[in-house]
Amino acid sequence: MALKQKLQEAAVAVDDLRRRLADAQRNYDALFRQATSGAKAKRGLPSETPANSQPKHQIPSANKPAGNFTDRIEALLLSDSKKEWGYSGILEKLPDIPTTTIPSLLFRLKNKGTVVKVGRGKWKAAS
């Protein structure tokens, strides 16, 4: 009888774990859908930094140029219209712009007609 009782207890435990796994998977799927759609998560870990604080790696500067990132990249490329600029060259001149946003901003400027792509990762002001 002891073996049969242990087997039944194990079956109940397995059933409980299956239900918990299904719940966890549903929660994960919901959070993943919210994250990929840009919606705020209803459940999850609280943000580590308050919304009004700046990231630790960015130091506020009084000498920061005015204008948004797109305008500043456009002004940089127009400053020397014959020079071809790579991502690293832009990052050297405008270090406060996040590296990952530079390509998307350049493509916006390309669609606007302000800059042209002249090679792989090379851009210059439109003539």
pLDDT digits (tens, 9 = 90+) for 22-78: 899 888 888 888 888 765 555 555 555 455 555 444 434 434 556 788 888 888 888
Backbone angles phi, psi at 47, to 5 degrees: -65, 145
Residue 29: which domain range?
1-41
- Considering the domain boundaries, does residue 46 fall inside one? no
- Considering the domain boundaries, does residue 30 fall inside one? yes
Same domain, 118 and 82: yes
Q: What would the pLDDT profile of 89-103 be if each residue is shown by its tens digit?
A: 999 988 888 888 889
Q: What is the DSSP letter of 53?
A: S
Name the pTM for this structure.
0.47
Instruction: Kindly report the number of other CB atoms within 10 A of residue 92's CB atom.
Output: 10
Same domain, 80 and 36: no
- Considering the domain boundaries, does residue 57 fall inside one? no
74 burial (CB, 10 Å; 0-12 / 13-18 / 19+) is buried
High-pLDDT (> 90) share of the chain, % = 9
Instruction: Kindly report the number of other CB atoms within 10 A of residue 106's CB atom.
Output: 22
